Structure formats: structure tokens, C-alpha cells
A and B are shown apart, each in its own frame.
Chain A
Amino acid sequence: MKFLEKYLHKMEPHFIKGGKYEKWNPLFETLATFAFTPKLVTTKGSHIRDGVDLKRTMMTVILALIPCLIFGIYNTGHWEMAVSEANRNLPYFDMMGAKFLNGLIIVMPVVVVSYGVGLGIEFLFGMIRGHALHEGFLVSGMLIPLTMPADVPLWMVGLATAFAVIIGKEIFGGTGMNVVNIALTARAFLFFAYPTSMSGDKVWMSGLSDKMASNPEAVDGFSGATALGDLASFMSDKATVAGEVVQSNVAVQSFSSEYSALESFMGMIPGSIGETSTMACLIGAAILIFTGVGSLRIILSFFAGGFIMGLLLNAIGGNPYLDLPAYYHLIIGGFAFGAIFMATDPVTASQTATGKIIYGFFGGFLAIMIRVLNPAYPEGVFLAILFMNVMAPIIDHYIVQANINRRLKRLKTT
């Protein structure tokens, strides 16, 4: 590494103000600080001298996302193979190497497009505004592919990333200034812009829609729906069998035989690339909480909010959606992924300790409410988190105000 350091030192004069490539300084600085820590240290005042900076925080989150990514790649590969063999009950832990390779071929382009487009735009804005590349996109660039269906066209990923980075972030001033989560902005953009490619029962398994077009008999009766999508169809299609109304508990039973709790928890079900496995998300959560990067308060209260809403809906009952056991809601769909990686985004979440609990609780609460009560949006988690992102500053405002009032009262009484 010595020679690289020397080389960078040699090149530095060209890039600082007045040098030959002054305009390219942001690019140089980014690459240089990627490899080596800047020599700047705090000199004045009392500080805890830990080198934890944005870059290291972001790298921790990416590390926490690796289990989701790896599992997502494998899961994508599995369902791709299931489609090509037209066998939904393909043994899950079989031919692991081939499945992983297949998944890699499907998932990697999405990751590359997301990073390429996002970092390209960040560089552009960095050069216009004259600052080095902010590290904020490193995590968003990984989160975006993980929230996409396996079959998403690459140009859509690029477009959504560009939209999210420009409209979601740069317009507000760049990293740390955004109001809503970047990755969720990208997903929301695609969800509303191209609903046929982002929802329904054909997009979650790679190759299914192509195969349906070319050879419909081969995939006859093959449902590519997610657990949530299937729940909706259990509700509508299977509500009446042979003229008899099926009891909702029967529908729930047939649902839970199709998606056993263990399979859902492990993530062996179709869904967005990185969201299916609650287990992988929990490994990520452990890393985030252990390193102090993610807020335990938000994660726990998010799960609590979702669970309580689930129990409330169970108490009402009446259709399979409402009757689905509350714990199921926590392990199907993107609930865990959203709670752990999206809701805890330090920029858009509440900042105060009490605020975090309120923010997380209502996030989970709303997520399940949207999911169950509005079947048009089976994946309510991202809408709920976006909504709470917007609400977070108000929550913080009232928490701080309440604290001020409490202390004022104490001042008056003494």
C-alpha cells in the first residue's frame, strides 16, 4: 500500500486549488479518503477521539446488510430455478451452488445499476457544489436493490435511483438533509409509476412473466405471488368454494400450510430480493445494535406497534386478512426489513429518545393497518415509514417542548 500512498501524495498538488485538475478535486478526495484516513485530527477543545465518521457508520450498515444480500441472492436463485423447472415445491436446500450462481446473475446487475446511477449523480452534484462525494449513498445504493422484485427491469432501477437521489436528497442539500428515506423514495416511485412491474404475482420470481408469455402451459397453476399477495387471493378467490362460503379460519389454515411460520421466518418465500428473510434481518439488527449504529428503541417499538395492531385486528376478525395471527405479520412481507434498516435511518428518524419510541410504534402500527385494511397496498410498510419520516420532526418538536415546559415548571416551584 505504500506505493499507492506515495502516488496519491505525488498527485495531490494537481488537484488542490490552482492545480491542473482543480475541477476533479471531489473525485480525487473521495478516492484518496476511501483508501487512507485523512490526516486531519481535532486539535482544540475536549472531544472523544474516536474515528467513527460517516464512512465507518455506513460501512457498518452495509456489513449488516450482507446477510440479507446473500440470502436474497440464494432465494432469488431458488425461485428462478423453481420457475424454470415449473415446480413450486422444489427442495430448498438442493443444488445450492447453481442456485447461488443464478441468483448472483440476476441480483448483481441490479446492485451495479443502483450504485452506478446513484454515485454518478452524487459525483455530478459534488462537482457542481465543490465537495467530495458524501458517503450517504453507500447504504441507499445497497438498500434500493434489496427492496426490488427479482424481475424488475434494470432501466427502472436506474430511473428510480435517479429520482430518489435528485428529488429525495440533492434538492434538499445532499446527505443528511433529506426529509424521507432515499431507498424508500425509490421504491415508492416505482410502486406508483410502474405498478405492473412492482406488484402482482408475476414479478417476484425471475423469469416467470417471460415464461408465462412464451409457454403458458408449463407454468399453469403456478402462482408467483408473495405471501401477502396470496393472502389477498385467499381472501377473494377462495372465499367461496363450490358455492359455499369458506370460513376465514380455514383460509388462514390453508395459508399457513402454504407458508409455514418457519419458512416465512427463514425467508424461503418469494418476495423482494432482500426482504424475505426475517432471520437475516435479525442478524443485521444484532450488528447494528451491537455497534450502536441502529437504534434499539426504534426497532423494538416498531415490532411492538405492528404486533399490537395485529392483535387488535385479530380481535375484530371476520376475514382471512384480519384473522391472520399477529406474529405472522412480523415475518412476512418487508416488515422486519423495514423496521431494522429503513425506520432506523438516523437522518429521517426521530432524534429524541422518547420520540424514537413514538416514531417506531406508530410506524409499525400504521404498517400493519395499511397492509390489512387496504388490500390495494399489500406492502404497507414502506408507506408507513415514509409517513413517519415526515412526522418525525413534529414528534421531536413536541418532545422537546414538553421537556422545556417540565423544566420551566420546576423553575417556578422552587
Chain B
Amino acid sequence: MSTEKGSEPLFSKKNKKLITDPLTDNNPVTIQVLGICSALAITVQVNQAIVMSLSVLFVIIMGNLIVSLLRNMIPSRIRIIVQLLVVASLVIIVDQVLAAFLPDLSAKLSVFVGLIITNCIIMGRLEAFAMGNKPWPSILDGLGNGLGYGAILIIVAVFRELFGSGTLMGYSIFGNSLPGEESGLYTLGYQNNNLMILPPMALIITGIIIWVQRTRNKALIEEH
């Protein structure tokens, strides 16, 4: 902002808050309840969730940076189109990189990488933050929101993969579940929870995270 005088340190208190806020009391998923669709769809396995988080992190940081650099040149009447164009280009880059280097995961994530374009968190940050702030704070804001989104995604994915398939990142935790050659916990009669694989459970786990968060911090509970 041009009215500010002098240069403030790179990690001033205000800038640090840009990163920490979305991780805790202003989390894009649990407080603003944005980006829920992808949280439901790709949290069956932890590595999917990690790749998705990194993709969104890249798109949101770069998108915030580019839009922030262009912010004074974008006519306000077509700003949404410009933002969309920026995001779409970035998503295509991510999609192509994934298809080239991680073809298996890319196939599993399928349409959801493309759908990052419509992720409300990204459009929201571009519109609400990058359009009115300098590049550096915009990068930090993108980083914070991307990490906040990724953190929830990975927490949900850990629960779903651990109890739904008995694995984490593809490594079996509870032993072998194949019928006839069970080992570990499965010999005691433990079974994988099929409901965890189904989308409703992602919603329920996200709901439980929201519940825990609001119980710990009563200020987050909306009055109505």
C-alpha cells in the first residue's frame, strides 16, 4: 500500500499473522467452510491428499503473486475473468506436471486437479486479498491459506486411510488384511472400516474437526 512509509521487516508481526491465522482460527476449510468438495473426494489416501495440497499451495501462491503484481492494471469490471485466466493457466501447468511425473496419482486425482480452478479458497484469496495488497504479503497469505487447506486435507486423509484401508501412504500399519493370510491386528478379528472409504465419512471427520476446534475456542461459535 503506497501510503505506508518505510519498509517493514519481511516477517513482521502482521505478516506472520497472515501465515498463522489460516492455520488456526481462520482456517479456510473448517471456519470458512470452503473447498469442501475436494476434501471429500481425494482424502481416501494420504499421498493423494499431499499431492492435492501441494498443487493447491502452488496455484494459490503463484496466483496471489501474479494477481497482486497486476492488481493496478486490472480493470475492475473484468477482474474475475483475469483472475480465472491466471488460475486456469497455473492449474494446467500443475496438471501437465503431474501427468508427466506422477502418472498414477494423476489418474487417481483425475478431474479434481482441473477442478482446482473452481476451488473457492483460491478465488476468494485472489479477490479478497491479492487484489488489494502488495506481492510479498500476498505470497504469505497464499502460503498460509494453502497450508491451512492442506493441513485439514491431510488430517482427514490420515484418518480415512488408516481406518479405511489399514495403511498410511500405502504402507500397511495393522498387518495384512487379505482373507486367508491375515497378520497383525486382523488375526484378532479387526476389520477395515468400509464407511471410511465412502465420501460421507470425510464430511463427518471434517465436522468433528470443526466441533473440536470450536469447543477449544468458543469465540468461533457463531451466534444466530
- CB of A153 within 8 A of CB of B189, answer yes
Across the interface, A194 reaches (CB within 8 A) one of B194, B198, B204, B211, namely B194
Closest to A154 in B: B189
**Assuming the A-B contacts A167-B204, A171-B211, are A192 and B189 also in contact, with contact meaning beta carbons closer than 8 angstroms in the complex?**
no
Closest to B211 in A: A171
**Interface flag for B110 (CB, 8 Å):** no
Chain B, range 189-224, C-beta contacts under 8 Å to A? 189, 191, 193-196, 198, 204, 207, 211
Contacting residues, chain A, for B194 (C-beta < 8 A): 192-195
State A192–B191 Cα separation when bound (angstroms): 12
- CB of B191 within 8 A of CB of A196, answer yes
- CB of A192 within 8 A of CB of B204, answer no
Closest chain-B Cβ to A25's Cβ sits at a distance in Å of 21
Closest chain-B Cβ to A385's Cβ sits at a distance in Å of 18
**Interface flag for A155 (CB, 8 Å):** yes
Chain B contact patch, size range: 10 to 19
Which applies to chain A's interface (DSSP): helix, strand, loop or mixed? Answer: helix
A-B contact count (CB 8 A): 19
State the interface size on chain A (CB cutoff 8 A). 11
Closest to A153 in B: B189
Chain A, range 189-229, C-beta contacts under 8 Å to B? 189, 192-197
Contacting residues, chain B, for A153 (C-beta < 8 A): 189
State A194–B177 Cα separation when bound (angstroms): 13
- CB of B193 within 8 A of CB of A193, answer yes
- CB of B191 within 8 A of CB of A189, answer no
Across the interface, A193 reaches (CB within 8 A) one of B189, B196, B207, B211, namely B196
Closest chain-B Cβ to A27's Cβ sits at a distance in Å of 22
Interface membership of chain A positions 172-199, coded 1 if the CB is closer than 8 angstroms to chain B and 0 otherwise: 0000000000000000010011111100
Closest to B179 in A: A196
State A307–B204 Cα separation when bound (angstroms): 36
Across the interface, B198 reaches (CB within 8 A) one of A155, A192, A196, namely A192
- CB of B193 within 8 A of CB of A194, answer yes
**Assuming the A-B contacts A167-B204, A171-B211, are A189 and B189 also in contact, with contact meaning beta carbons closer than 8 angstroms in the complex?**
no
Closest to B215 in A: A128
State A192–B195 Cα separation when bound (angstroms): 5
State A373–B191 Cα separation when bound (angstroms): 29
Q: Which of B195, B204, B207, B211 has the most CB of A within 10 A?
A: B195
Closest chain-B Cβ to A218's Cβ sits at a distance in Å of 20
Chain A, range 220-261, C-beta contacts under 8 Å to B? none
State A194–B207 Cα separation when bound (angstroms): 22
Contacting residues, chain B, for A193 (C-beta < 8 A): 193-196
State A195–B191 Cα separation when bound (angstroms): 10
State A89–B3 Cα separation when bound (angstroms): 91
Contacting residues, chain A, for B204 (C-beta < 8 A): 167
Please provide the 10 A-B residue pairs with the shortest distance between their CB atoms, ordered closest to farther: A193-B195, A192-B195, A193-B193, A193-B194, A194-B191, A153-B189, A192-B194, A167-B204, A195-B194, A192-B198
Interface positions of B (Cβ within 8 A of A): 189, 191, 193-196, 198, 204, 207, 211
10 residue pairs A–B, Cβ–Cβ below 8 Å: A167-B204, A171-B207, A171-B211, A189-B195, A192-B198, A193-B193, A193-B194, A193-B195, A194-B194, A197-B191
* A-B contacts besides A192-B194, A193-B195, 9 pairs, CB < 8 Å: A153-B189, A155-B189, A189-B195, A193-B196, A194-B191, A194-B193, A194-B194, A196-B191, A197-B191
